[in-house]
Amino acid sequence: MSNINFERRKQRVRYKLRSKSSKPKLCVFISNCHIYVQLIDVVNSKTLASSSSLQLKEKKLNVETAKKVGADIAKKAKQIKVMDVVFDRGGYLYHGRVKALAEQARAEGLNF
């Protein structure tokens, strides 16, 4: 993955999300070892909830781990009564782990 292409995709995705600023943002970050997700209130610039494979003590970074993280963030969002969010995939392609996380969060009740 080229860094230039990644940054361009990230800017394009974030530009499109600015118009929907009233909803909380579900941000995804993938490192070499873990996947992290945050639910951010963009109006107040505060993190409402977060989940990661590190918190769930998952050793491998794969599609199954991403599904578990997606289910966990959806459960935490239900607890704070946030159901409508905007999905910010950053510069990552909507494929594989990112897609699995998003689909599992939708299956658990998040709307985006």
Model confidence over 64-107: pLDDT tens digits?
Answer: 999 999 999 999 999 999 999 999 999 999 999 999 999 999 99
Q: Report CA-CA distances (Å) from 99 to 29, 80, 92, 93, 108.
A: 13, 24, 10, 8, 14
Residue 11 — left, alpha, or beta (φ > 0 → left; ψ -120 to 50 → alpha)?
alpha
Model confidence over 23-58: pLDDT tens digits?
Answer: 999 999 999 999 999 999 988 889 999 999 999 999
User: Which tokens is 90 given?
Assistant: 């950053």
Give, in words, the CATH class of 3-107: alpha beta
- pLDDT level of residue 2 (50, 70, 90 thresholds): confident
pLDDT value at residue 12: 87
More confident residue, 28 or 1: 28
For the chain, the domains span 3-107
With beta carbons less than 8 A apart as the criterion, state whether 71 and 108 touch. Answer: yes
pLDDT value at residue 1: 56
With beta carbons less than 8 A apart as the criterion, state whether 36 and 52 touch. Answer: yes
